[in-house]
Amino acid sequence: MKPYVYFLGIGGIGMSALARWFQANGHQVSGYDKTATPLTEALTAEGIAIHYTDAVESIPAVVRDNREQTLVVLTPAIPKDHQEWAWLRAQGYDIRKRSQVLGVLTEGRPTLAVAGTHGKTTTSSMLAHLLHHAGLPVGAFLGGISVNLGSNLLLPEEIKKGATETAEAEMSANDHQLAAKQTPIVVEADEYDRSFLTLHPDVAIITSTDADHLDIYGDKDALVESFRQFARQIKPGGTLLLNHTADASVADAVGPEVRVIHYGLTKKQETELYSSTITAEGHQFHFDLHSPLGNVPDLQLAVPGYHNVENMLAAACVAQLQGIGAAALQAAVAAYRGVKRRFEFIVTATSGTGSRVYVDDYAHHPREIDAFLRSLRALYPGKRLRVVFQPHLFTRTRDFLAGFAESLSLADEVVLLDIYPARELPLPGITSALLLELITAPVKSLQTKEQVLAAAQTDDSFDVLATVGAGDIDQLVPRLRNILDIRWNGAEA
């Protein structure tokens, strides 16, 4: 592998995990991103040079002077007219997509891949946590910041040990190769741009095949075919865990030596993996696991939501496949604390104003929003729910307009921010105002971020506040935290 690695779009959640992996392996890492974020600031603090101006002269000299020794890693979010990308192409640099690099890094290692149009970040973080908590050597590339791990990357032990000269002396090259072959890697397998087709997993979870990314696929049939191709790439002797809501044809695509386990929240005709006796107590969900690899009673999950119980079923079954027993599984599930911006409790009222809560979630697809809001309703029955939502992408808003309106209408009040464009240019007529017209919540409005903050200073007409979306709505979270913690609890967060 080349000594210099340069990232175009280093601040992305998947890109930053790769950057950290290369940094830990002794490569000189640098990169570009459009804007500074807490994630890029963390990478800078870890010794990675990052700049925010798209200019060839901003590329570090060591990259410009060492073409043959430099690997350039590219995210699909980089626009086609990007100046640095154009120069690097013209100069003949080795440029690879993030997914291609991930495929190379996992080659030769047992790979546990989690795919699905939603649920994959939470499920992959659950799986990495369960194996790590149980003491199994494991590495992980995650699409979110695990609260337990404090990172989107879990380094395999042989890399951690190889980071010091003393430990390196204790392990021969053969030791490292043997450890690499035996250490499983948990990977979030992204369907966007068909990225997951660079992976050949030993075990795969597919959480959902709902229509999404139609700007890439055109229609749902093409999306499902991509999942079928992913399933075909599971190695002989491997296992596919398939959510019962996913397209049934995916199971037909696997090879004859691949085991298929269907799973779902409750027992259905086709499900072999399911839960029972589900109860909600405070923020915790209690349930029993029914698995073809052995039942486990009284699991306690501190991250609420019926969808999260379902995600944990798949993660727990894969942990069983890796040899984790019932007692270790019970302890690991109880210790799981979730992923940043996935049903994350930001502020809870502790005195004076009654029961109030502020929750943040990354949901950006109608089915995700529906699951999130229904779980909030179950946790806080009868409470007045205000949702602040930022639509993500013009194409997604256009393609799922009715679904967004239906799911958001579960709230008592909906506040819409402008559509977050990400990699897209505006589409004529596709606006938040168009979505607002279809929402049937009793109270609804269009607001700016500053208006949302101003309302939080004085407005007491809600019991539960939720910020929802995948764009830059997360910039509101620390400011809302401070406002509401002062108002509700009388002290700064």
Q: Is 150 annotated as a binding residue?
A: no
* CB-count exposure of residue 204 (10 Å: 0-12, 13-18, 19+): buried
Q: What is the pLDDT of residue 173?
A: 46
Q: Which amino acid is at 152?
A: N
Q: Is 119 annotated as a binding residue?
A: yes
Give dist(CA 446, CA 196) in Å, integer.
37
Closest CA relative to residue 19, chosen from 8, 439, 136: 8
Residue 218 pLDDT class (50, 70, 90 cuts): confident
Burial 378-391 (b: 16+ CB within 10 A, else e): ebbeebbbbbbbbb
Beta-strand (E) ranges in 198-237? 203-206
Give dist(CA 183, CA 180) in Å, integer.
5
pTM of the model: 0.84
Q: Do 265 and 340 form a contact (C-beta atoms < 8 A)?
A: no
Domains of the chain: 4-97 (3.40.50.720), 107-335 (3.40.1190.10), 344-489 (3.90.190.20)
**Each residue of 232-291: pLDDT tens digit?**
999 999 999 999 999 999 999 998 999 999 999 999 878 999 999 999 887 789 999 999
Q: Is 121 annotated as a binding residue?
A: yes
Give dist(CA 143, CA 11) in Å, integer.
12
Q: Is 198 annotated as a binding residue?
A: no
Give dist(CA 204, CA 73) in Å, integer.
25
Average pLDDT, rounded, for the chain:
90
Q: What is the pLDDT of residue 378?
A: 85
What would the two tokens of residue 420 be? 């977050």
Question: How much is the average pLDDT of 4-31?
Answer: 95
Q: Among all chains, which residue has been given the structure tokens 């967004």? A: 404
> Rg (Cα) of the chain, in Å, rounded?
23
Pairing between strand 239-243 and 259-263? parallel
Distances 262 to 44, 182, 292, 295, 417 between C-alpha atoms, Å: 43, 27, 10, 15, 38
What would the two tokens of residue 414 be? 């909906």
Give dist(CA 126, CA 337) in Å, integer.
9
**Each residue of 309-329: pLDDT tens digit?**
999 999 999 999 999 999 999
Give dist(CA 59, CA 45) in Å, integer.
19
DSSP state of 165: H
Q: Is 129 annotated as a binding residue?
A: no
**Each residue of 424-471: pLDDT tens digit?**
889 999 999 999 999 999 999 999 999 999 999 999 899 999 999 998
Question: How much is the average pLDDT of 388-396?
Answer: 96
Give dist(CA 211, CA 220) in Å, integer.
5
**Each residue of 141-180: pLDDT tens digit?**
998 999 999 999 999 876 655 443 333 334 344 444 444 4
* Longest CA pairwise span in the chain (Å): 67
Closest CA relative to residue 43, chosen from 59, 61, 31: 31
Helix, strand or coil for residue 421?
coil
Q: Among all chains, which residue has been given the structure tokens 């979870």? A: 205
Question: How much is the average pLDDT of 184-189?
Answer: 94
Distances 18 to 31, 43, 93, 106, 124 between C-alpha atoms, Å: 12, 11, 19, 12, 16
> Quick one: residue 418, left, alpha or beta (phi over 0 = left, psi -120 to 50 = alpha)?
beta
Q: Is 34 annotated as a binding residue?
A: no
**How many angstroms separate the first and last alpha carbons of the chain?**
44
Residue 181 pLDDT class (50, 70, 90 cuts): low
- CA 307 to chain centroid, in Å, comes to 14
Q: Is 44 annotated as a binding residue?
A: no
